[in-house]
Every structure is written in structure tokens, then in C-alpha cells.
Structure 1
Amino acid sequence: MREDDVLRGIAARVAARDYSDDVSIHPGHLDADGTWIVSPLPEDTRMLVVRGSQEHRAALAADAVDPLPRLVPASAQAVDDAEQVLGHPLPPLLRRIYLEVANGGFGPVLGVAGGGTDDLGRTAIDRLSPREPAGLLPIAYWGCAIYSYVDCRGRGAMMWGFDPNSGLGEHSFYAEGISLVDWLDGWLTGSLEQPHLEPDQTRSWSGTTSEGAS
């Protein structure tokens, strides 16, 4: 039942076109009573704010938020091809999201062929590398070469972090200790943490919680 709740929650956000952690709004400022006052700038000028921030909420009330494009599900062929390349079936919840809701593109989530990409235009499948642990699928990109992976090897769909900025080499991969369903639920509730390794050079993980990671 928990997986169904997460699936419905993501579907609702996608259907409402309210799925991005960074929101494009008409630039302006908050006045004394919290109203968003749009600045007299060129029509195509935009600024990015964090979803759920005071600026975002005020811009919504002022009809100064650009609508996001509609997301579409992946084709069955794209999902089947992804599983063949990966060499493992996708976790059932992730497979349903791709087929029934959206081919990535919401929050930091990457898609399969034709879906959400990282900053280099790579899908989760494009990002696979023989130099990385087999069976781990990079399903989220956070910037600065940091990714979140899901273990597709039949071990409860647990999440892994990857932070090459740590200087730990092979230990840049580390178990986050949460499942895919908990990770996606964290995105829905705004408690999802961006993974990074602690500066004490251990293999433990920590994260920076953003108010916009929701």
C-alpha cells in the first residue's frame, strides 16, 4: 500500500505540473505584506526560486509562475530496453512510475530513453558505465557530478549515493541506508537529502536538505 501512496503522490504532482524543485517565475520582489510585485523587465526575463519558498508562493498568488511542460510516460519498449541494458529488472515501483506517470523529469529523477536527462543530456541508461558497480541504476542527478542510484539486484531496491568530489576514489559509492520508496516519499514530503560524503573521510553518508527538494 505504501508504494501505491507514493505512486499516487507523484502522479498528482506531475498532473498538476508542479514537479520541479526549481521554479521559473516573473522577476520581482516581496512587498511589506508578502505580495509579489513583478518588476518592469523584458517579458522573457525569468528568475529561479525554490519550490515552496515564500517567493514561489507569492508568485503563484500573483499568477507570475510559468507553467511547466507536461510530462509523459515512457514507452514499454524503452523500459524493456533499459532492463536489457542494465541486466536486471527495474524495481516494480520505478517501473510503474516510468510506464504510468512520467519518464523521469520530476525533481532530480532521470528517465530511460526519451526521458529526463542530466546536464549533459544523458538518461539513466546513457549514464551507465562498465566502470561502476553492476546493477546500480543512476536515477537522480544533483549537479556537480553527484548522483543517486537504486540497486536493481533484487535486494529491496536500496539507494546508493555517488559523490566523486570526495576524493575517495572507489569509495565514492556508498549505501545510503534507505529504500527507493522512502527516497521517493522524501521527495514528496520535502525531506529528501542530497547525498554527499562526510568530510571525515568515512564511508558514512550525509546530505544537505533543501527546502526546495520537495
Structure 2
Amino acid sequence: MTDDEIIDTCRKIARERQAPPPAPPEAVAKAEHVIGFAFPTLLRRLYTEVSNGGFGPADGVLPVDVGQWNEHIAEAYEHGPDPTGGVPAGVVPLYDWGCTMWSMIDFRDPDGVMWSNADGDCWPQGVNLGQWLLAAMDGELRFAWPNGVPPEREWHRPEIAAERQES
């Protein structure tokens, strides 16, 4: 699927969800200033052509600036999901899975390589933003654990155990 097709599909989904209108280019520029890196191409287009957050899996990704959510992408980057500082500079929180688990996007790469972060550990997911969004649209997106398996300590949490039984 091309970037234009991904944008069209995300636009339809955003409309169904009654997501906010697109972000103004000034908001993207302000976020870039805080983050210190330019937005990956597809992500910039999604924010400025589709919606200021709300596209992607479930309730959607964080907005560029404050809208209906309390947190935005630059603020999440500044405060970070990882208090230990183990997240590389330019890897930005994008989607909050809950329970200190995030999908993050690498602003250092114009294709927007996706990363995972959980409990202070950070690793590449092996997909770019377009592939990540396609998996979300197909209902196939799951949190990307290293080697596809959560750490042993996670198997004891009821919500993880229930999800594993459903698979």
C-alpha cells in the first residue's frame, strides 16, 4: 500500500472516530523544535492531512499539540516513558499501550522505524510506520515483544494471561 493509500484509509478511520481536525503546520514545527528532529515523512502527512492524533490503533496515536488528550507527542518525548534514559535520542513515544508499554517512532529515520518500550527496555520492532499502521488496520497489531514473547514476569499478569489464552 502506498503512503497516499494509507493516508486515505486513515482519513476514513479518523472520520468514523470523529478524530480532531488536522494539526496546523506550525504545531508540527513547534514539536520538531522540542524533539530536535524532523517528523518522518508519512507521520508529518498524517498529522497535517488527516488528524491531530486519533489515527492508528484503538483510540489512536498522541496528538501533535494539546487537543482532546492531556498529553501530546513533544511532551511525551520530553518526559519520556523511560525514566532511566535508555531510549535513544529521536525515538519518540507515539502510542501508549498502557502498563508502561509504548510503541515509539524513530524521528532519525525518514521512514519512521517503529520501536517498543516496556519497563525501561527499548528495542526496534522491525517495521516502519506504514507497516505498523497496516497491521493496526488489519486488526493484527499487537505489542511487539522481543522475539514475540513477553518476559516471564508478564505471564503472571491476568490481562496478559487472558490474551495468551485467546490466541
Same fold (TM > 0.5):
yes
Give 1:4 shift.
1.2
The answer to whether the Cα contact below 8 Å between 1:109 and 1:116 also exists between their aligned partners in 2 is no
Task: State the Cα deviation string for residues 145-184 of structure 1 (Å, max 9, x = none).
Answer: 21111111026321000011xxxx4xx1011111110001
Q: Specify every segment of 5 or more residues in structure 2 that has no aligned partner in the other structure, as ranges.
A: 80-84, 154-159
Tell me the amino acid that sits aligned with residue 91 of structure 2: L
- 1:20-35 to structure 2, matched below 5 A, reads none
Tell me the amino acid that sits aligned with residue 16 of structure 1: E
Cα root mean square deviation, aligned: 2.5
Are 1:101 and 2:50 an aligned pair?
yes
Select the residue among 66, 76, 96 that pairs with 1:114. Answer: 66
For 2:42, what is the secondary structure of its paired residue? Answer: helix
TM-score normalised by L of structure 1: 0.61
The answer to whether the Cα contact below 8 Å between 1:158 and 1:179 also exists between their aligned partners in 2 is yes
Give 1:142 shift.
0.9
* Matched length: 145
The answer to whether the Cα contact below 8 Å between 1:151 and 1:160 also exists between their aligned partners in 2 is yes
Equivalent in the alignment of 1:140: 95
* Alpha-carbon distance in 2 for matches of 1:140, 1:112: 12
Equivalent in the alignment of 1:26: none
The answer to whether the Cα contact below 8 Å between 1:14 and 1:101 also exists between their aligned partners in 2 is yes
Q: Between Structure 1 and Structure 2, which shows a larger proportion of helix residues? A: 2
Tell me the amino acid that sits aligned with residue 15 of structure 1: R
Task: Decide whether aligned partners of structure 1 residues 70 and 122 sit closer, same or farther in structure 2, where only a CA change above 3 A counts.
Answer: closer
Give 1:81 shift.
0.5
The answer to whether the Cα contact below 8 Å between 2:39 and 2:110 also exists between their aligned partners in 1 is no
Moved more, 121-130 or 176-185: 121-130
TM-score normalised by L of structure 2: 0.76
Task: Decide whether aligned partners of structure 1 residues 97 and 155 sit closer, same or farther in structure 2, where only a CA change above 3 A counts.
Answer: closer
Equivalent in the alignment of 1:75: 24
Give the share of equivalent positions with the same residue, in percent: 33
